[in-house]
């Protein structure tokens, strides 16, 4: 009677919290001029295996199988391959740049640990067809906007900017060919997550040490990033970003700018991450579609945990959830003789747009008022002997009024403002 | 570069239409006092295979496989087993009756045909813990409300009510045991979809003919349904329902009342279907949880097709989609010297809640106005030599105004009302 390990049931309170995240993502993306897209949950294995652009780690975690039509298929582990496929197929139909976002669930057979699930939801946003620093800033501003939407400030998170090209130049100067450079990037990605001795052992064949990498990170001059940082300055968002070359990102398809959003608390979890993948579309389309692109993803699990742990964000969420009760109006049936009239009233209130509930079976009036309170209703409308008049009780104040049932809609409209 | 057969990509215009359906479902369910739940996309095969409550047809269409942990798993083909599992696990935590709805995607390896996909979205609503006719009416009223929400009237659809118990009584009187009765119900479910001769051949072993079944359907007295019909009468919804015993539903777990929503057009497609499954929870929990239940499902594909084909519904959708343009405000940068100021203005408009877009790269002013029109923007705000003043153009009327940039937010607030 339990879901599979790593999968979640969403009971009403869980679903409300999930809806709060999704609604926030969607609202901020729309304010930034992004439009929503989505693809199928199941994709052909070809999409992931052919070019192996995602990297071996994700391939090793795929939920893959053979379908009833003998196709090799997989549950999507990330959005970018699907997005690239969709853009390649139809990009001619759309004005550039494309500013697309999606809210979708993904599947990875992960070892179970905090913040990792096997089915999780991600917000993804991508800007395609513009290779400029202005595009970089536009996309990263959306990431900042999404986090601010949930009540987080510069005290809670920071976006760390880096650039793979800086590393590629450095590693080329140190004699690494492209294959070696990719291997070293994968090691840098683990810099704070593995013991130094083990990393040094992995770096030795490339003639490098952890100390040398750390020295390069420490010496990073923000001059390279000056035009980008100026964009954030102009937007009033400079305090949300900093340069940190230790960010390299795990996925293989990134080509230049990469970034991660970190929570500033002790745990320093990555909340979001992304970067430029200017070659992916050309690679996947054998050169027929060549669009520069930048994108990022942000998952629901870490974000949800951080909201719970941050009082300002948690209170904001609780206010929002409290403002959407299961019922706004509860129709109390004070005498079963008037049940038919009450049913008609319930229907008219619902048709007028009110979240309305009522007792399906005969119940004592006191019990009905209890239910009204439990549902978070603002008003109880009592149908009884006074019909065609009804009594209205404002539940917070216990104030009472009485109106003809035909005048109820008007009364509520005024009371609600 | 295409999705798997039977699966869909949702480009911006597709995603907007999908969003219109989902938002409508959610709004109507909330007005009826239902709260949202969801479960995982992937479930243990046990959930479907153990009791085989769904029926053999669905089992034969399952996307099932063995995961990396040697578990037999399947993509969910319908909501009811997941819902039953969730209710059994935690029903003690919730006040009865449960009024739960979900909006989720499902997977069936169907033969491809119009209105059938392999991944589709369904609205499901269930009312658990109340076996009364009042509960039946409440649940079916929601189905009616959902269809009315999209602009459909009694001229467009009808809910056909039936009851499996009426058939079970009739078939028992004709000497069928329970197994035989179930077999006959499956034949009745195909009554209008298979040639009469072939059905008669299948009925012969049970001592029945199609003519006899049709006679029973024609003789159906609505007296049995009088209390239920009276509930719709009281709600002003009587014209949306009729009795039709030819409805029996394909799933094995239904125990009593069953119903389907049909479009009244020539195609007479089923738009939604559901019924009582009073024994399912007890069966699945080996008797530990015994809650009566009624529910229905409504898919996005047939509903979407009917909206497209019904002028009133299509116009309603197009109005709603037109009211949510990709951008409300387009900031025109009339001189690159003022790009930094424009960026600050864009940020402040977005922070104030406006869907705002602007050109990432230098472009001629005429071109920028074109883009503003294409995005459906209501206002163009021109940043140029007049700074710190900005020019505001109302795009529909080409009316112009000029305000200090600091006063723009106030100007927009007034203009928008």
Q: How far, in Å, CA of B51 to CA of B230, rounded? A: 36
User: How close, in Å, is residue B3 to chain A by CA atoms?
Assistant: 7
CB-nearest to B236 from A12, A231, A344 is: A344
Residues of B in contact with A103 (CB under 8 A): none
Instruction: Kindly state whether residue A232 falls inside one of the protein's structural domains.
Output: yes
CB-nearest to B134 from A231, A360, A374 is: A360
Q: Which residues pair with A402 in a beta bridge?
A: A391
pLDDT in tens, A351-368: 999 999 999 999 999 999
Closest by CA to B129, choosing from B290, B297, B296, is B290
Within a 10 A sphere around the Cβ of B62, how many other Cβ atoms? 20
**Of all helices (H) and strands (E), which one includes residue B101?**
strand B98-107
Residues of B in contact with A40 (CB under 8 A): 3-4, 7-9, 119
Residues B193 and B265 reside in one and the same domain? yes
* CB–CB contact A31 B350 (8 Å): yes
Handedness of CA A151, A155, A157, A163 (dihedral sign): positive
* CB–CB contact A66 B65 (8 Å): yes
Within a 10 A sphere around the Cβ of B179, how many other Cβ atoms? 8
Within a 10 A sphere around the Cβ of B349, how many other Cβ atoms? 23
pLDDT in tens, A167-199: 999 999 999 998 899 889 989 988 888 899 999
Residues of B in contact with A231 (CB under 8 A): 343
User: How close, in Å, is residue B365 to chain A by CA atoms?
Assistant: 17
Task: Please give the pLDDT value at position B417.
Answer: 47
Closest by CA to A40, choosing from B16, B102, B82, B106, is B106
Residues A270 and A334 reside in one and the same domain? no
Number of domains in chain A: 2
Instruction: Kindly state whether residue A385 falls inside one of the protein's structural domains.
Output: yes
Question: CATH code at A370?
Answer: 3.40.50.800
Closest by CA to B160, choosing from B278, B249, B28, B235, is B249
* CB–CB contact A360 B231 (8 Å): no
Peptide bond into B86 cis (omega under 30): no
Task: Please give the pLDDT value at position A54.
Answer: 61
Residues of A in contact with B94 (CB under 8 A): 12
Question: In A22-57, which positions are buried (b, 16+ CB within 10 angstroms) versus exposed (e)?
Answer: eebbbebbbbbbbbbbbbbbbbbbebbeeeebbeee
SS3 state at A197: helix
Examine the fold and report which residue of A269, A293, A320 is the final residue of a domain before the chain moves on.
A320
Examine the fold and report which residue of B278, B300, B320 is the final residue of a domain before the chain moves on.
B320
Residues B346 and B233 reside in one and the same domain? no
Examine the fold and report which residue of A256, A291, A320 is the final residue of a domain before the chain moves on.
A320
Residues of B in contact with A93 (CB under 8 A): 11
Residues B247 and B345 reside in one and the same domain? no
Residues B251 and B343 reside in one and the same domain? no
User: How close, in Å, is residue B348 to chain A by CA atoms?
Assistant: 8
Interface test with B, best of A2, A7, A11 (most B CBs within 10 A): A11
Nearest CA in chain A to B324: A30
* CB–CB contact A40 B357 (8 Å): no
Q: Are B384 and B368 in contact (CB under 8 A)?
A: no
Task: Please give the pLDDT value at position B57.
Answer: 78
* CB–CB contact B88 A1 (8 Å): yes
Residues of A in contact with B328 (CB under 8 A): none
Within a 10 A sphere around the Cβ of A320, how many other Cβ atoms? 17
CB-nearest to B36 from A19, A134, A234 is: A19
pLDDT tens string, chain B, 417 residues long: the values are 899 999 999 999 999 999 999 999 999 999 999 999 999 999 999 998 876 666 677 889 999 999 999 999 999 999 999 999 999 999 999 999 999 999 999 999 988 777 789 999 999 999 999 999 999 999 999 999 999 999 999 999 999 999 999 999 999 999 999 889 988 998 998 888 889 999 999 999 999 999 999 999 998 877 889 999 999 999 999 999 999 999 988 777 899 999 999 999 867 789 999 999 999 999 999 999 999 999 999 999 999 999 999 999 999 999 999 988 999 999 999 999 999 999 999 999 999 999 999 999 999 999 999 999 999 999 999 999 999 999 999 999 999 999 999 999 999 988 864
Q: How far, in Å, CA of A104 to CA of A111, rounded? A: 21
CB-nearest to B39 from A9, A134, A327 is: A9
Count of CB pairs separated by less than 8 Å, A with B: 235
Q: How far, in Å, CA of B126 to CA of A350, rounded? A: 18
Nearest CA in chain B to A354: B31
Within a 10 A sphere around the Cβ of B112, how many other Cβ atoms? 9
The CA-CA-CA angle for residues A48, A51, A54, to 5°, reads 55
Nearest CA in chain B to A372: B33
CB-nearest to B4 from A7, A42, A339 is: A42
**pTM of the full predicted structure?**
0.95
Question: CATH code at B18?
Answer: 3.30.930.10
User: How close, in Å, is residue B209 to chain A by CA atoms?
Assistant: 36
Residues A165 and A280 reside in one and the same domain? yes
Q: How far, in Å, CA of A368 to CA of B319, rounded? A: 40
DSSP symbol at A10: B
Model confidence band, residue A222 (pLDDT cutoffs 50, 70, 90): confident
User: How close, in Å, is residue A175 to chain B by CA atoms?
Assistant: 37
Nearest CA in chain B to A19: B36
SS3 state at B397: coil
Q: How far is CA A158 from CA A164, A237, B322, in A?
A: 19, 11, 37
Q: How far, in Å, CA of B136 to CA of B228, rounded? A: 8
Nearest CA in chain B to A361: B134
Nearest CA in chain B to A100: B12
Q: How far, in Å, CA of A303 to CA of A269, rounded? A: 10
Residues B336 and B189 reside in one and the same domain? no
Residues B141 and B198 reside in one and the same domain? yes
pLDDT in tens, A299-349: 999 999 999 999 999 999 999 999 889 999 999 999 999 999 999 999 999
Q: Are B349 and B329 in contact (CB under 8 A)?
A: yes
Residues A205 and A296 reside in one and the same domain? yes
Residues of A in contact with B356 (CB under 8 A): 31-33
Bridge-based pairing state of the strands A98-107 and A389-394: unpaired
Average pLDDT over residues A89-113: 94
Q: How far, in Å, CA of B288 to CA of B285, rounded? A: 5
Share of chain A above pLDDT 70, in %: 98
Residues B216 and B148 reside in one and the same domain? yes
User: How close, in Å, is residue A23 to chain B by CA atoms?
Assistant: 11
Average pLDDT over residues A123-131: 98
Residues in chain A: 417
Is the ipTM value over 0.90, yes or no?
A: yes
Q: What is the mean pLDDT of chain A?
A: 93
Instruction: Kindly state whether residue B354 falls inside one of the protein's structural domains.
Output: yes
Instruction: Kindly state whether residue A24 falls inside one of the protein's structural domains.
Output: yes
Q: How far, in Å, CA of B94 to CA of B274, rounded? A: 23
List the domain range (segments joined by +) for residue A36. Answer: 12-320
CB-nearest to B12 from A37, A68, A340 is: A37
Q: Are B391 and B402 in contact (CB under 8 A)?
A: yes
Bridge-based pairing state of the strands A379-383 and A329-333: parallel
pLDDT in tens, A27-71: 999 999 999 999 999 999 999 887 666 667 788 999 999 999 999
Bridge-based pairing state of the strands A119-128 and A98-107: antiparallel
Residues B286 and B339 reside in one and the same domain? no
Task: Please give the pLDDT value at position B101.
Answer: 98
DSSP string, A237-286: -GGGEEE-TT---S-TT--SEEEEEEE-STT--EEEEEEE-TTHHHHHTT
Residues B310 and B343 reside in one and the same domain? no
DSSP symbol at B97: S
Instruction: Kindly state whether residue A86 falls inside one of the protein's structural domains.
Output: yes
Torsion of CA A389, A395, A397, A399, to 10 degrees: 10
pLDDT in tens, A253-270: 899 999 999 999 867 789
Residues of B in contact with A41 (CB under 8 A): 7, 41, 75, 105, 107, 119
User: How close, in Å, is residue B128 to chain A by CA atoms?
Assistant: 12
User: How close, in Å, is residue A305 to chain B by CA atoms?
Assistant: 19
DSSP symbol at A411: H
Instruction: Kindly state whether residue A2 falls inside one of the protein's structural domains.
Output: no
Share of chain A above pLDDT 90, in %: 85
User: How close, in Å, is residue A201 to chain B by CA atoms?
Assistant: 31
H runs (alpha helix) in A131-209 = 133-149, 164-173, 178-188, 196-203
Instruction: Kindly state whether residue B1 falls inside one of the protein's structural domains.
Output: no
Q: Which residues contact B160 (CB under 8 A, 6 or more apart)?
A: B241, B242, B243, B244, B246, B247, B259, B260, B261, B262
* CB–CB contact B12 A35 (8 Å): yes
DSSP string, B172-222: HHTT--HHHHHHHHHHHTTTTTS-HHHHHHHHGGGT--HHHHHHHHHT--G
Instruction: Kindly state whether residue A5 falls inside one of the protein's structural domains.
Output: no
């Amino acid at each position: 009677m339990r879901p599979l390990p790593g999968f979640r049931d969403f009971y009403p309170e869980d679903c409300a919290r999930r809806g709060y995240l999704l609604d926030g993502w969607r609202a901020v993306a729309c304010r930034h001029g992004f439009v929503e897209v989505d693809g199928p949950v199941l994709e052909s294995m070809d999409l992931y295996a052919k070019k192996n652009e995602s990297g071996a780690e994700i391939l090793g975690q795929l939920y893959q199988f053979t379908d009833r039509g003998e196709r090799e298929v997989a549950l999507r582990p990330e959005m970018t391959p699907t997005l690239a496929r969709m853009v390649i197929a139809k990009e001619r139909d759309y004005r550039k740049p494309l500013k697309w976002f999606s809210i979708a669930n993904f599947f990875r057979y992960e070892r179970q640990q905090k913040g990792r699930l096997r089915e999780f939801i991600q917000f993804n946003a991508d800007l395609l067809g513009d290779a400029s620093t202005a595009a970089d800033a536009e996309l990263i501003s959306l990431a900042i906007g999404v986090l601010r939407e949930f009540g987080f400030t510069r005290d809670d998170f920071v976006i760390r900017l880096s650039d793979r090209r800086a590393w590629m130049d450095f590693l080329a100067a140190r004699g690494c060919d492209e294959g070696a450079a990719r291997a070293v990037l994968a090691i840098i990605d683990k810099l704070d997550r593995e013991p130094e001795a083990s990393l040094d052992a992995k770096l030795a064949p490339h003639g490098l040490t952890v100390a040398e990498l750390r020295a390069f990170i420490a010496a990073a001059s923000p001059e390279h990033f000056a035009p980008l940082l100026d964009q954030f300055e102009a937007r009033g968002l400079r305090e949300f970003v900093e340069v940190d070359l230790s960010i390299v990102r795990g996925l293989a398809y990134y080509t230049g700018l990469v970034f991660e959003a970190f929570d500033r608390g002790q745990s320093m979890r990555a909340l979001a991450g992304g970067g430029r993948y200017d070659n992916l579309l050309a690679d996947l389309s054998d050169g027929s579609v060549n669009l520069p692109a930048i994108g990022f993803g942000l998952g629901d699990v870490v974000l949800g945990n951080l909201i719970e742990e941050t009082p300002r964000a948690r209170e904001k969420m609780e206010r929002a959830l409290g403002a959407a009760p299961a019922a706004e109006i509860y129709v109390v049936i004070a005498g079963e003789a008037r049940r038919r009239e009450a049913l008609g009233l319930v229907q008219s209130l619902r048709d007028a747009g009110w979240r309305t509930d009522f007792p399906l079976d005969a119940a004592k009036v006191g019990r009905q008022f209890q239910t009204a309170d439990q549902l978070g209703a603002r008003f109880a409308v009592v149908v009884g002997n006074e019909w065609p008049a009804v009594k209205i009780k404002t539940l917070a104040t216990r104030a009472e009024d009485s109106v003809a049932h035909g005048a109820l809609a008007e009364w509520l409209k005024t009371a609600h403002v």
